[in-house]
């Protein structure tokens, strides 16, 4: 695997190294030793799949507070998504900054999302499937979220948003929850 760290410390884009022959190709998609060598937490507590029927669908911006903060390894296995992560670590020099990465069935790229980051994506093609390998169990009383269109974040989605869950539409503006987010996301 090829690990490329983004401007957000600890967040990596992972590209596969294909070994091709007449059958097709083989590539490693996860290796505990390689993750450890890059200072990443190589734990998978859950593996999830999301199927999205319509392009324009938006999922996010989701996170879990410590002590149940999650890492995620996200890959689009069919179709295409624009994945966006936001740094919610108050002590980080990139606090509230974000990156976006296009993950597609063609590029077979993955995004490693560190703990204490918000994560969401928009579907770019109909009938898109996404897998998430998550480093912590889903903990409903630790979950949180940010508005996908919060003006303070300035996230840019490439398509008009066509479908958003009711839950995701009800997240409060960052201006009203930022003090709590900072307090609950603080390290140590």
Domain parsing of the chain, residue ranges: 2-18+26-185
CATH of domain 2-18+26-185: 2.60.120.10
**Which residue in 169, 166, 172 sits closest to 152, CA to CA?**
172
* Backbone angles phi and psi of 73, in degrees to 5: -120, 110
- pLDDT for 130 beyond 80: yes
Please identify which of the residues 65, 119, 132, 148 carries the catalytic annotation.
132
Let me know if 51 is a catalytic residue: no
Q: What is the DSSP letter of 181?
A: H
Q: What is the pLDDT of residues 5-21, one digit of tens each?
A: 999 999 999 999 989 88
pLDDT in tens, 52-104: 999 999 999 999 999 999 999 999 999 999 999 999 999 999 999 999 999 99
pLDDT of residue 103: 98
Give me the catalytic one of 62, 98, 119, 148. Answer: 62
Give the residue from 62, 75, 55 showing the smallest Cα distance to 123.
55
In 12-155, alpha helices (H): 32-37
* Residue 121 is a catalytic residue: no
């Amino acid at each position: 695997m090829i690990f490329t760290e983004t401007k957000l410390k600890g967040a990596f884009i992972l590209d596969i190294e294909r070994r091709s022959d007449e059958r097709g190709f083989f590539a490693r998609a996860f290796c505990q030793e390689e993750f450890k060598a890059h200072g990443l937490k190589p734990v998978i507590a859950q593996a999830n799949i999301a199927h999205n029927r319509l392009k324009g669908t938006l999922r996010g911006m989701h996170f879990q507070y410590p002590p149940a903060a999650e890492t995620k390894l996200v890959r689009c296995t069919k179709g295409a998504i624009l994945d966006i992560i936001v740094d919610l670590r108050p002590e980080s020099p990139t606090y509230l900054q974000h990156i976006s990465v296009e993950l597609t069935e063609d590029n077979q790229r993955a995004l490693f999302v560190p703990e204490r980051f918000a994560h969401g994506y928009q579907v770019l093609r109909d009938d898109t499937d996404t897998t998430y390998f998550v480093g912590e169990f889903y903990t409903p009383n630790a979950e949180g979220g940010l508005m996908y269109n919060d003006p303070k974040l300035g996230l840019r989605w490439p398509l008009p948003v066509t479908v958003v869950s009711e839950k995701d539409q009800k997240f409060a503006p960052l201006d009203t929850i930022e003090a709590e987010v900072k307090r609950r996301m603080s390290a140590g």
